[in-house]
Amino acid sequence: MADVVINPIRVAHIMGKMASGGVEAVVMNYYRHIDRTKVQFDFIIDEDSTVVPYDEIESMGGRVYKVPPYQKPAAYHSALVGLFRGNKYSIVHSHINTLSIFPLFAAMRADVPVRIAHNHSTAGKGETARNILKYILRPFAKLFPTHYCACSKHVGRWLFGNKSLAKGRVTIINNAIDTSKFIFSKQIRENVRKELNIENKFVVGHVGRFVKTKNHLFLVDIFDQIRVRNPDSTMLLVGEGELEQKTRDRVKELGLTEHIRFLGVRNDVHRLLMAMDVFLLPSLYEGLPVVGVEAQISGLKTLVSDTTTREAEVLEDGIEFMSLNQSTEEWAARAISFRPVDREKIAEIAAVAGYDIGLAADKLCKYYMKLFDET
């Protein structure tokens, strides 16, 4: 049994290339709501990270450490071992999926007693090189961690196997959100639509980094077909990424420049969701998308690819799944066929069990404290 904790347990979170994605949002949500008198977070990020909330992290007592990317293995390993030993971490929590073998190997060498591998995704079509690496590394996923976590059973099964899941060795940590922020408000909807000058439009929405996984070109083609059926449609794209220019080129090619808004990285996604009429997420693959949970809590009809785990349905009839083998015409027809719902009524069932960040953060805090006491 460890000594009584006087100072908060400091957990090292391995974030990889920190940007504006879903994993970053999940970890930050937990950090904002966890009892920081008991547990503190340090963020270990690659030095080429692009979107890092330094001020917010430091204001809450956290620390950010930059290390060389894993593509420089010797420097990466050396930096991590030195960091783990220097700060005497008891818990290292890695969020970089199959790549977690690298920081957790360093943690083992640094004698860190609790080493958590947390999987957030699977593999899917469209990213051949990345998927090859995932499948090469997957057999080694259980070599260096002492504990396994995942955002859903499907994702946990993919990396850690059926036996580990069946034996209860995989702890499910939901992609929880501050449900109170996403409860629909008619006034907010009207305000945002006025701000964006889209009061009388059918508004299609998407939130995600411009990376191959998110399938933006297919998304734009779907919207093109939506406009064939409803010329008063507009689309809001929230996010940034390396494929943004390629997406803009497709938009220009289809003559949709005036009808698709690129909004960049936003800190008011909850408000934007309220302004939308339908949410599309035709990803090549997903773990359990945070924004899908947020959209449903907002009462927004959500249409996602069937590569997304069925566990993404956190509200009954809150989400529908479609095959990427179906045509853009079929996607468009389904997107505009949703019947209007009383989004304000959704508020009555919005505090979905396991997805409210207040309850989930308390559960995670107790999980860390239990692991610490066992060291």
> Same CATH fold, 179-349 and 9-176+355-373?
yes
Q: Rounded mean pLDDT of 10-29?
A: 92
Task: Check residue 328 and give its pLDDT.
Answer: 98
Residue matched to tokens 């945002």: 192
Residue 351 binned pLDDT confidence (cut-offs 50, 70, 90)? low
pLDDT band at 1 (very low <50, low <70, confident <90, very high): very low
| Residues making up the chain, counted from first to last | 375
Question: Measured in whole angstroms, how far is the alpha carbon of residue 312 from the centre of its chain?
Answer: 12
Are the beta carbons of 269 and 207 closer than 8 angstroms? yes
Spatial CB neighbours of 101, under 8 Å, sequence gap ≥ 6: 117, 137, 140, 141, 143, 144
pLDDT digits (tens, 9 = 90+) for 290-346: 899 999 999 999 999 998 988 888 887 889 999 999 999 999 999 999 877 888 877
Read off the pLDDT of residues 59-116 as tens digits, 9 standing for 90 and up. 999 999 999 999 999 999 999 999 999 999 999 999 999 999 999 999 999 999 999 9
The conformation of residue 26, written as its DSSP 8-state character, comes to H
Q: In sequence order, what E strands does the chain have? A: 9-16, 39-46, 63-67, 91-94, 114-119, 147-150, 170-172, 202-207, 233-238, 260-264, 278-281, 302-305, 319-322
Spatial CB neighbours of 250, under 8 Å, sequence gap ≥ 6: 216, 217, 220, 221
Buried b / exposed e over 69-79, threshold 16 CB at 10 Å, is bbeeeeebbeb
pLDDT of 3 > 50? The answer is: no
CATH of 9-176+355-373, one of 3.40.50.10810, 3.40.190.10, 3.40.50.2000, 3.40.50.2300: 3.40.50.2000
Fold exhibited by the domain 179-349: Rossmann fold (3.40.50)
Q: What one-letter code names the amino acid at 77?
A: H
Residue spans per domain, the chain: 9-176+355-373, 179-349
pLDDT in tens, 110-163: 999 999 999 998 887 667 777 888 889 999 999 999 999 999 999 999 999 999
